[in-house]
Amino acid sequence: MKNIISKISLILLLTFAFNFIIIDDVNAQCPMCKMSAESNLKDGGTAGKGLNKGILYLFAAPYLMIGGLAFMYFKHRKNDDVEDENI
């Protein structure tokens, strides 16, 4: 059981690490937002960079929530297994 949890944890950790390594290379913007951000950057503004980072932040939120739920599930499942052995 611990071996499976270790493998799942390692996969999740590598997935998150990979996402944060390539975070600056990703352009996660719709065409309208991209045009607006590019015109702002040409005028010397920095709104485009903040917009892109905000989109990537919102993209990571569901993964963190699912990871938290999976952690709680496995933590409580471990406690249930210990109680079943005592019965």
Per-residue pLDDT in tens (0 to 9) along the chain, 87 residues: 677 788 888 888 888 777 666 665 555 557 777 777 778 878 887 777 777 777 778 888 888 889 889 888 888 886 666 665 666
- Which residues, in sequence order, are CB contacts of 23 under 8 Å at separation 6+? 53, 56
Predicted confidence at residue 60, as pLDDT, reads 85
Residue ranges of the domains in the chain? 16-86
pTM above 0.75, yes or no: no
